[in-house]
Amino acid sequence: MGRFSILVGDITQSDAEAIVNAANESLLGGSGVDGAIHRAAGPELLAECRTLHGCPTGQAKLTKGYQLKARYVLHTPGPVWQGGEHDEAALLASCYRSCLQLAEENGIQSVDFPCISTGVFGYPAAQAASVSLRAIMDFLRDHDTPQQVRVVCHTEEAAKVLRQMYNFWFAGTKADRL
């Protein structure tokens, strides 16, 4: 297995050193992945998130994982889809880069991402896949840490979209295969 992979699973059961929470700006829990991570981590996660005083869209903050298998949670508020003309792509790419940068700064060797903003925030899956893959692969090409990055999709359908986009952008060149 290379440094990057796509799989189907429950991110709250991830054995990565850090998982990414597709959060809202308050960082105080919500629906979808955000709610699932908060429930699985236990009340200590919410207590720590309260001390962070939120996070702007496209940025990231780090907490402990508490009752999760993952040691850390990287929280990043993704953009709400507004038709694609409100800097959504730049903000979504920034979510991935910010998480990876924070992981590198903290020596975190493995990170699992969900498909940020594709749930209740309404970002179209194919566009989100293109943006996220480019951000991840560009970062991995230029940095040694983290050593492993996975996108953990909740459904096989979401994984299929990501795999197709990966094959479209990266399958042709060995330099991009990490």
Q: Which of 34, 87, 112, 144 is catalytic?
A: 34
For residue 127, give the nearest of 60, 67, 82, 174 by alpha carbon: 82
d(CA 147, CA 104): 10
Instruction: Tell me whether residue 142 is one of the annotated catalytic residues.
Output: no
Hey, which residues are catalytic here? 34
